[in-house]
Structures are given as structure tokens and as C-alpha cells.
Structure 1
Amino acid sequence: MITVLTPTYNRSYILHKAYRSLINQTNQDFEWLIVDDGSTDDTKQLIEGFIGECKIKIRYIKKENHGKHTAINVGVKHIDNPYLVILDSDDSLLPNAIEEIDKYWKKYGNNQSIACISFLRKYPNDEVIGKRYNESEIISNNIDFRYNQALLGDMCETFRVEVLKKYPFPVFGNERFLSEAIVWNQIALKYDTVYVNNAIYMGNYLEDGLSKNILINRFKCPKGAAANANIFLLKRFKLTIRLKNAILYDGFSMIANNKCTQYISEANSKTLAILFLPAGLLFKFWLKIVAKKQ
């Protein structure tokens, strides 16, 4: 069985989209686990209504507000099924999504080196987010395939739950935002992903969403942003990626008042020191942009 995990915060006005997409699945062998990250709207009453309809299996957990990444942590702890897919609260799955996820995990599930099967996402106008591949299936990993080959754009990742239990998202004090890349790239150091050239997920980027406000969120949560940039300093990444993230690491560390050695793993501290000045100039420019948006 597959778990569809939805972290949500004050999204009662749009959660019905995700619900409708799930009750219309061609394969109903799944559960929907909603982790409410401290919503103050009528999310609870809405979910209770969904549960009362008895159309799909639904579980609901409410926690204190501390960010999407902590909601994922809580959800993963409460999952007994072997596989999961994260469905954001403002998005939907195409009717054959669970069927496709089930098909590919049956194909690759016995290969313990594979932690993730990743599908494409598309916009409501049917345009694929990012790029299609040249092959129907490719086995690689998040670092080599997505970053080093610059095949960016959000994808629909489905994971082995046992692997995600080993890699919870770190929590930095009261910071409420952390890029999922920090965990996906850690997993990529030990496990492979199957990239399927097929879209099963439909998403959009709303004005109140995390993606639309990613720059502001990173400035508000600089410790997590610095830790995420540090992952990209590993030698597995191309030099251009490491240089860019060395600047980001320096800059976010300055904002967080951290010493630049705090999160370093394989990073070259001399490189960080050289880039400290350009990082400061870049962040002064970014601060002006953030100030205008707030």
C-alpha cells in the first residue's frame, strides 16, 4: 500500500482539489495522511467532512506550526506502508498516479539500492515542469542527474518510507522553512533514483505558496539556508555549483551570525574565505529586494 502524505497550513480553501484527485484514482490501494501544521482556519472541519464521506482511507494529524519540513517528519514517523508520495495541499494527482507508482515500485522494489522513483510534474495547461528526458526510464541520483546535468524543475518523488525514516529533516530552532534538497541530496549520496519520463502530478505556484516566496523564506530562516548550501559544497557537485553555493553559504551564515566553519563537511574553508566579500555584496543587493517584497 502507498501513503499519500499532505503537509498543510491554512489551505482549507483549496484542499478539495487534492481530495477530488484522490477519490478519482484508478487504483484505490492507498491511504491519505494529512499533517496539519497548526492551521487556524477550518481545515480540521473540512477533513472531518472528507472522512465522513468514506470514499478513501484518510488519517488526520494536527501539530504545532513549525514548517512543512517538520510536518513531513511527523508524517513519516506515523507511516507503516512501504512507499509514500508527497502531495502538496494546493496540487493534485492525475487519475492514474497511484497506478503508475504501484507499477514501478513492483518493478524496482526488490532493488534495495533504489530509494526513490521520480515522475514528472506538469502545469494545469499540460506543459511539463522542467524537461522531458530522452529515455522512458533512467537510473541515476539526485546529484548527478538533476544538478550536474541541470535537469531542474519540480518533480514528483515517491520514496521508500524506511529510507526517509533514516533521513529526517533537521530542525534549526524556530526556523519554519527548509529546502527539501537538503535531504534529497543526502539520500543521493547512498541511493539511486529511477527517473520516469511520465507526468503523474499537476501543480501550480500560488501567491501564498513556499515556492513563490522562497527568497524571503530563506532570509527568514538563514541557518537552514546555510546548511542546505553546505550540502552543495560536496565534491560530487560540479565546480560551478560549489562556487555558487559557497557564496550562498557565506551570505546566509553572515545573516545567521554563524561562524563559517559551523556546517562545513568537505568544504574548503579557504574557498569560503575568498568568496566572503562577493557574498556580502550579493546579500546587500538581495536584502534590498526582500525589503521591497515585505
Structure 2
Amino acid sequence: MNEPLVTVLIPAYNREQYVGQAIESIQRQTLQDFVCIVIDDGSTDHTRDVVETYRKLDRRIQCLALPENRGLGQALQAGLDAVRTRYFTILDSDDWYAPQTLETCLTAIEAASADVSLVCGNAVIWHEHPDGQLIQQAQQPGRAFDNQYDFILYGPTLVPRFLRTSTVREVGGFERDPITDGRMAEDRLLLLKLIHISRFIYVNDDLYNIRVHADNMTKPETRDKFIEVKRYIFTRMLKEWGDEYEPEFYIHPEGWLDIKALIPKR
């Protein structure tokens, strides 16, 4: 193999049912030169055993086992500390990549200028029935952004998040917010920091598959905490960007907080 340019980080907590499919979607990539680090965030089920089965058969698969559950942000920071490649990407342990994802994103960012820190694309959303059957629900299109204010008004999560390692480290990586200690909206905070000093590019291709199931982290009972964290993040970043705008918040029909408009302060 050539020297890998890409590391895939898969944070996992009690995902024995799904993590194997996530790993296999990486093994099926058209780009075969990669490192895959599964971060077992103190799982109490057989997640680590599942990962070890793949690791023993494929030297590209690594397991970073944390002694206790730290939450998504801290798990990703531990993974980032272990990254030795020019780029890395994040795959949720209950989701999976299209076969061309790594090659498509790598080609795009290698052809771009050095101020590009992220490549994103489209997602396909799948609903998992109680019997395990997956039904395709919709496509979640990504897009390009004119500037940081254009991005802060964008509600959906960008996927895949294919990132330039050096720029992520430049902005401090994954932070521990004062409300959940980095357990929620850690990706949103990172991207808001990145868009302030760099650019994102968009590839119009279905690169990511989102699984909607009963145990998703963004479930109704966690909405109030997500709202509190996002309000903190949005308010903080607008102040750091010069405190030029007052956010007009609204609650999305599905119960999530977004910014409806930015009102100039002067």
C-alpha cells in the first residue's frame, strides 16, 4: 500500500449492533489506503469485542479503548490526538459511507487550495424499523457556503465531515463546552471555528448514509439540552466573530434550535 493520507475516526459507545457495518463500509472503499481508528468510549456491551474481531484480520483497523465513557467530544479529541495523516474524517458508528466517499473527498480537497479545511456532500436518510429493515426516507443535500454567517444559518449537520488535520488542530480541535462537557453539538462548534478561518467545499454526490433508529443520540428526550448547548455555541461564536449581529432564534418543527435571521447591531 501507499502511505495513507486519510484516517477515519469512528467514535462508538454501546454500538455492538451497528459498528461492524460502519467498519465494513470503510473496508469497501474504492480508496484502500487508509487508517481506521474506532474509539470505544467506555462501552459496557460487546462493542470492543466486535471491533477487535475486525482489527485482528485487518491491520488498517485500530481500536482506541477509553477506560470510561467521556462523551462524543472527548472521544473524538482522543482520536484526533492519534491521527498521523494529512486528513481525517468522522463516521458515526451507526451510519455508513458510500463506497466512493473517501476517494471522492480526497480528490476534491487535494485539488483545492490550502485554505479549504472541509469537504462535504449529500446524505441518504434511512429509517430502521423495529425488525431491522431499513427504509429509505429522503436525501439530505449539502451545499457550499459564501461565508461564516451563511453557514451559521444552515441547520442540518454537514456529512461527511472530511477534514484537514492541521486546520482542525489550529482551531483547538474538539472543545468541552461548559454545559455538557463536549457531549453534544461538538461537531457544530468545531465547524463554526473552522469556517471563520477557512473554506468548505461541497461535492454533489450521495456520500453518507444516516440511520434513524430508536437509540439515536438526537432523540426527543435530549432536545432541551441540545437547545441549550446550541444557543450557547451560536451566541459565543457570533461574539467571537466581532459581535456584529444579534441572532433571532427559532425552534424547528422537529424541536431543534436554529437561527432564523441575523439582526445587525449597528
TM-score normalised by L of structure 2: 0.77
CA contact (8 A) 2:96 2:209 kept: yes
Is residue 112 of structure 2 the alignment partner of residue 101 of structure 1? no
Q: 1: CA distance between counterparts of 2:180 and 2:151?
A: 30
1:190 has 2:201 as partner: no
RMSD of aligned residue pairs (Cα, Å): 3.0
Match of 2:129 in 1: none
Residues 140-181 of structure 1 deviation map (CA, whole Å, 9 limit, x = unaligned):
44x344344x46354212110111122222223874622121
Q: Deviations over 1:197-240 (max 9, x none)?
A: 21211112222122224414437xx5x4553132354468996x
Q: Are 1:210 and 2:200 an aligned pair?
A: no
Q: Check whether the contact 2:95–2:209 (CA below 8 A) recurs between aligned residues.
A: yes
Residues in 2 aligned to 1:225 and 1:139: alpha-carbon distance in whole angstroms: 20
Does the alignment pair 1:60 with 2:63? yes
Alpha-carbon spacing, 1:132–1:83, altered in 2? closer, same or farther (3 Å): closer
Matched, 1:14 2:18: yes
Q: Is the 8 A contact 1:35 1:62 kept in 2?
A: yes
* Residue 128 (1) aligns with residue 130 (2): no
Distance 1:28 1:218, change over 3 A: same
Q: Which has the larger radius of gyration?
A: 1
2:39, 2:79 within 8 Å by CA — same for their partners in 1? yes
Counterpart for residue 120 of structure 2: 118
Unaligned stretches of 5+ in structure 2? 127-135, 251-263
In structure 1, C-alpha distance between the alignment counterparts of 2:159 and 2:33, rounded to whole Å? 22
Whether the aligned pair in 1 keeps the contact of 2:123 and 2:139 (CA below 8 Å) is: yes
- 1:127 Cα shift? 3.0
The one-letter amino acid paired with 1:188 is I
Structure 1 segments unaligned to the other structure (5+ residues)? 246-266, 269-294
218, 228, 232: which one aligns with 1:227: 232
Contact 1:140–1:195, Cα closer than 8 Å, also in 2? no
Alignment partner, residue 178 of structure 1:
184
Report the residue type matching 1:177 in the other structure. R
Closer, same or farther: CA 237–86 of 1 in aligned 2, 3 Å: farther
C-alpha spacing 1:178/1:21, structure 2 compared with 1 (3 Å): same
CA–CA separation in structure 2 for the residues paired with 1:122 and 1:236:
36
SS at match of 2:223: helix
Question: Counting strand residues as a fraction of each chain, which structure ranks higher?
Answer: 2
Please point out which of 243, 247, 251 is paired with 2:248. 243
More helix by percentage: 1
Secondary structure of the residue aligned to 2:102 is: helix
175-184 vs 23-32, which moves further: 175-184
CA distance in 2, matches of 1:65, 1:174: 13
Kept in 2, the 8 Å contact 1:177–1:217? The answer is no
The match for 2:83 is: 79
Q: 58, 70, 74: which one pairs with 1:70?
A: 74
Distance 2:117 2:146 in 1: 11
Give the CA deviation at 1:94. Answer: 0.5
Structure 1 runs, 4 residues or longer, greater than 6 Å off: 235-238
Q: Residues of 1 paired with 2:232 and 2:160: CA distance? A: 24
Inter-CA distance 206–231: structure 2 relative to 1 (3 Å threshold): farther
- Amino acid aligned to 1:119: G
